[in-house]
Amino acid sequence: MRSARGLRSWWWVLGVFALALSMAASAAPRSAKASQRSAERPTAGKSVRQAKANRAARSKPSTRRAAVKTVPHRPSIGELQGLHATDDPLDLKSSVAFVIDQDTDQVLFSKNPDAVLPIASITKLMTAMVVTEGGQDLDEPLTVSAEDIDTEKGSRSRLSVGTRLTRGEMLHLALMSSENRAANALGRHYPGGLPAFVAAMNATAKLLGMTDTHYVEPTGLSSKNRSSARDLSLLVKAAYEKPLIRELSTSPGAEFEVGRRMQEFRNTNRLVRNPSWDIGLQKTGYIVEAGRCLVMQAELAGRKLIMVLLDSAGKYSRLGDAERIRRWLLEHTGAATVGAIERGG
């Protein structure tokens, strides 16, 4: 009896063991497939990180170089007239150059001196002449108005509408920093307004013998303000006789109360801060039609000189041309070659 019972227990154990093996065998493929699916499917944390990385990649600016917008070249009047083709021994970038001895009127260098061109803010020298000769009160307050805003070229100004400065301060800013609104305000506050002021500008030019010169407004923004280098040398010579114009045009910088705070303004001609130069009067100018312009009175090697440079190509080329002329004059002072160089009529 006991043997039969033991045998049945043994067969029961074997059956349970076989059933366990069968269940394990059938579960293995399912487990493998689940593991494979688990490996192929990212975890929630990985999915969030990957999504963030994808968004960051999309939002990151492209490293490809943006296409450069080309601005069409706008030639100056001198360029259109072919004046830049005129050769000169100094290889100047200015198409017009004229240098004379202030005391003797001896021509030391000449290149297209009679070409009549727009003169940009060189105009403001004549504006200063009319103001100083008009005998107006330099301490009288003037107010910048909407009429002084540049509607022709759209140029900016640090003098907002409503700014109040004295006539003397407006003149200082017009000459030193070439402030267009200051120059226009000076013309507006002339007896008879702008029409009378412009008439006085042209009358003064006629008195000085400037036969190639014509003005239509006091700032130089209009390309209809025109003159020649030979005429402008007469203007520089006359303006130099005005101590106030000499002082204000060569001021390196100054502070003015504009609105409720002090603002610093600097000279548009950096040569006034160059110790190599002894400048007694100067004025710069630029509009597209005129190119870069510069007129100066300077003492060099014991001689007082008047220098006119018009229609220069390049932002700093007029200053570079002035340096070339200065070095050339220092090398040739007293030599017979000085005064013999003249190009272009």
Q: Among 243, 252, 101, 130, which Cα is nearest to 193's?
A: 130
What are the counts of helices (DSSP H) followed by strands (DSSP E) for the chain? 10, 12
H or E element at residue 8? helix 2-40
> Rounded to whole angstroms, how far apart are CA atoms 237 and 233?
6
Residue 61: DSSP 8-state:
P
Residue 103: DSSP 8-state:
T
77 within 8 A of 118, measured Cβ to Cβ: yes
Please list, in sequence order, all residues whose beta carbon lies within 8 angstroms of the beta carbon of residue 317, skipping any fewer than 6 positions away: 93, 94, 292
Residue 218: DSSP 8-state:
S
Q: Among 226, 249, 242, 231, which Cα is nearest to 296's?
A: 249
> Rounded to whole angstroms, how far apart are CA atoms 272 and 253?
10
Pairing of strands 261-266, 226-227: unpaired
Active site residue 160: no
Catalytic-labelled residue, pool 94, 121, 157, 227? 121
Active site residue 178: yes
Catalytic-labelled residue, pool 95, 178, 228, 249? 178
Active site residue 60: no
Catalytic-labelled residue, pool 76, 93, 110, 124? 124
> Which residues carry out catalysis?
121, 124, 178
